[in-house]
Amino acid sequence: MSVSALRRRSRRLLPATVVVGLAFQAPPVDYHTYRNARFGYSIPYPAALVRPQPEAPNGDGRRFVSADGATTLTVYGSHNALDHTAHQQLTMSRQSWQEKGATVTLAKVLPGGYVLSGTLHTSIFYEKASLQNGVFSTFIWQYPAAQKPRLDAVVSYTARTFRPGR
């Protein structure tokens, strides 16, 4: 094929390629940040997906709920009054999820915290906690399994950018 024939062909293909590329781009997600005054942690949340509910009366945290109520982000701080290790706290949290009927697919102790994930009926949950200076800072995403492709990037982003408290 000649160079001029390739150029003509590429000009014909270019607009279709651009349109297809644009059709599959996800819109950018606008994040706001919740900062907790009592425990000092902060977490970004997707403003178009979940709406903040009133802060807990004791100031330990807040829930964020989607318009349909199916997706929640819960974030809270708690004093480590029983002096648990991250492993002990993970074990307790895992047991609590399993008592509700959850199947745990990931349970891992991290330096200074843990992650826990799995399914509960038709929902996915992802919990991450950090232990610093006697305080557990924790967040939990729970959402319909059908939303996994849409929410994987959101959950990953909040997990990477979550800032534990004091």
- pTM assigned to the model: 0.83
Write out pLDDT tens, residues 24-37.
334 468 999 999 99
The per-residue pLDDT for range 146-158, each reduced to its tens digit, is 999 999 999 999 9
For 66, counting Cβ atoms within 10 Å of its Cβ (0-12 exposed, 13-18 middle, 19+ buried), the class is middle
Kindly report, residue by residue over 71-83, the tens digit of the pLDDT.
999 999 999 999 9
pLDDT tier for residue 103 given thresholds of 50, 70 and 90: very high
Q: Among 7-16, 102-111, 114-123, which stretch is predicted with the lowest mean pLDDT?
A: 7-16
Closest CA to 45 of 94, 53, 111: 53
Helical (H) or strand (E) element with 81: none
